[in-house]
Amino acid sequence: MGHRSLSLLVAVKIVILLVILGISSCSGSEETGTPSAPVPATTAPPVATGTSLRLSPVASGLSSPVHITHAGDERLFVVEQPGRIRIVQQGSVVATPFLDIVSLVQSGGEQGLLSVAFHPAYNLPGAPGFGLLWVNYTNTNGDTVIARYTVSRANPQQADPGSALTLLVIAQPFSNHNGGLNTFGPVEGPAGQRYLYIGMGDGGSGGDPENYAQRDDTLLGKMLRLDPSLEVRPAPPFYTIPPDNPMAAAGAPLGTIWAKGLRNPWRFAFDPVGGDLYIADVGQNREEEIDFTPAGTPGGRNYGWRLMEGQSCFNPPSNCEAPGLERPVAVYATSGGRCAVIGGYVYRGTRLPALTGMYLYADLCSGEIFGLAQVTPGAWQSTLLLSSGLSILTFGEDVQHEVYVGSGDGTVYQLVAGQ
């Protein structure tokens, strides 16, 4: 990958992995050759990190690790696409899964168990949210399910599979573009709540044929925002709608819509310092994009799809501008071995100080890892940090804000200084 030719075996694996993100082609065009760095939406001088990087293996033998996170302690929780959550502790994968819902999950291609979000107070006994987690998966009918589980009272290394409470079931017209990430946002709300954000793809096929991402009568192609119930035995619908959501008056479930115009926001992240939101939205076949929303911005943003793909008109193919469309802060072409953006995190660890404040992201096919920085107000620059040679499915973060990646080879790696 990267600057090397793909072997036939790796190429076949890449084609399979592309389906995870709803990509029909790795190239997206007839362009060939060595790709340049991603083009920022606003040009600025290059950012020099002064640090060489490498990926150090942490755990292997995992089955399609599509999400990596923590629960407020030193453990890493790795989501396996077939329907299990595994604990990695002291460099070893705990033999018994933390949660096994394989029987509930339809897995393959883009579908499967796609993420888990632990409540910020998960490890604080007696606090609201203690022991609670929310998962995002594709059920056996092919629909998206957002469900709450509770940790086992007898064993903190396992969740109680019988504790499920279903918050949302979102019908999926096709098998791709499911989005898939649940995560808690920054402190907000009248009582300092931490709302749950859910990234939803446009429902699949190609080109969003029903224009779901621009419509207000569907959850598809949206960023959802809700206040999940923290009670031990809550009453349905197991969540409330934040009163400042732009469509709160519509009631459940449409009132959960926070923003629209997304194609497939496979991964997004909030900066732990300040709360800015970064969304990596997978493109159709020409442009991948990074969207940026400053902390405190009211809901109702429109990120442009299907009117636009990145910086270009898509449908209609010209004169696509509409009032209020948000432009991405960085885009790059799906050519020269690049195919699909994989969103990461704003680096806030301590081991790689040169990366502090950079938003890290990657490309699935090329295996390149980039850092995006706002070098002056409104001016953004992407820098190539590492050509990994891996099929990067996801990024992850531990309790110390150090960064990891999950690879198609079933291995979790940590991003560390090179030697």
Mean pLDDT, to the nearest integer, of 280-289? Answer: 97
Quick one: what percent of the chain has pLDDT higher than 70? 88
| pLDDT at res. 365 | 96
Q: Does 261 reside within a domain?
A: yes
* pLDDT of 2 above 50: no
Mean pLDDT, to the nearest integer, of 61-72? Answer: 98
Average pLDDT, the chain: 90
Mean pLDDT, to the nearest integer, of 301-326? Answer: 96
* pLDDT of 260 above 70: yes
What pLDDT band is residue 12 in, cutting at 50, 70 and 90?
very low
Least confident of 93-107, 186-200, 351-365: 186-200
Mean pLDDT, to the nearest integer, of 204-226? Answer: 97
* pLDDT of 6 above 60: no
* pLDDT of 51 above 90: no
Mean pLDDT, to the nearest integer, of 130-137? Answer: 98
| pLDDT at res. 49 | 55
What pLDDT band is residue 235 in, cutting at 50, 70 and 90?
confident
| pLDDT at res. 233 | 83
Quick one: what percent of the chain has pLDDT higher than 90? 83
| pLDDT at res. 192 | 86
Q: Does 1 reside within a domain?
A: no
| pLDDT at res. 179 | 97
Mean pLDDT, to the nearest integer, of 380-387? Answer: 96
Its domain, for residue 347, covers: 8-417
Total domains present in the chain: 1
Q: Does 198 reside within a domain?
A: yes
- Condensed to tens digits (0 to 9), the pLDDT of residues 73-130 reads 999 999 999 999 999 998 899 999 999 999 999 999 999 999 999 999 999 999 999 9
What pLDDT band is residue 50 in, cutting at 50, 70 and 90?
low
Q: Does 3 reside within a domain?
A: no
* pLDDT of 7 above 50: no
Q: Does 155 reside within a domain?
A: yes
* pLDDT of 345 above 70: yes
Mean pLDDT, to the nearest integer, of 255-264? Answer: 98
Q: Does 181 reside within a domain?
A: yes
Mean pLDDT, to the nearest integer, of 129-153? Answer: 97
Q: The CATH number of the domain where 372 resides is what? A: 2.120.10.30
* pLDDT of 26 above 70: no
For the chain, the three-class secondary structure string (H helix, E strand, C coil) is CCCCCCCHHHHHHHHHHHHHHCCCCCCCCCCCCCCCCCEECCCCCCCCCCCCEEEEEEECCCCCEEEEECCCCCCEEEEECCCEEEEEECCEECCCCCEECHHHECCECCECEEEEEECCCCCCCCCCCCCEEEEEEEECCCCEEEEEEEECCCCCCCEEEEEEEEEEEECCCCCCCCCCCEEEEEEECCCCEEEEEEECCCCCCCCCCCCHHHCCCCCCCEEEEEEECCCCCCCCCCEECCCCCCCHHHCCCHHHEEEECCCCCCEEEECCCCCCEEEEECCCCCEEEEEEECCCCCCCCECCCCCEECCEECCCCCCCCCCCECCCCEEEECCCCCCCEEEEEECCCCCCHHHCCCEEEEECCCCEEEEEEEEECCEEEEEEEEECCCCEEEEEECCCCCEEEEECCCCEEEEEECC
* pLDDT of 142 above 90: yes
Q: Does 260 reside within a domain?
A: yes
